[in-house]
Amino acid sequence: MAALPSFISTTEAAHYLGVSEARLQNMIENESIRAVKVNGEVVVSEASIRGLTPKEQLPEYKMYARLKGVPIWISDAARRYDIPQVTVSRWVQKGLIKIIGEDKNKILLDEQDIAYCAEIHHKRGGQGKRLFKPDGTLYIPRTERAQATA
């Protein structure tokens, strides 16, 4: 069975995006955010606001805030998070993971970025699956986007 689209209140959506409720209302009217009325209350599609949210504001990213700036080598990250080293290297090349320094011939990465990417990889991953948009936020396949706007 396909997952049903989820909706949140306008207050929650405004807080999530870091905008005022008036600004959110303008976004709804301009149709940059999908909203519906349920029992007389306007609610916002979570899928429509995820695309507008920087990765640093995503709950999946914030849950690893304690790791921000903690250096980790590529090989250690691959082992610790059970991700192929080539995948970690690819994420670094794409700019999804920040390089925070170098120690001799080893590249030091931001462990918060690694933990976030690993979380998404383990939840939605699979060989050949696209997981991230260029800005580091979660890529939502066309079929799921269509379900969220239906």
Question: What b/e readout covers 93-115, taking b as 16+ CB neighbours within 10 angstroms?
Answer: eeebbeebeeeeeebbbbbbbbb
Domain boundary among 10, 28, 52: 52
Report the DSSP pairing between strands 99-103 and 106-110.
antiparallel
Q: pLDDT tens, 68-118?
A: 999 999 999 999 999 999 999 999 998 899 999 998 888 999 999 999 999
Going through the chain in order, the beta strands assigned E by DSSP cover: 7-9, 35-38, 41-45, 71-73, 99-103, 106-110
CATH number for the domain including 94? 1.10.1660
Query: Do 44 and 84 reside in the same domain of the chain?
Result: no
Radius of gyration of the chain from its Cα atoms, rounded to whole angstroms:
18
**Could you tell me the pTM of the whole model?**
0.66
Query: Do 120 and 64 reside in the same domain of the chain?
Result: yes
Name the residue range of residue 24's domain.
Answer: 1-52
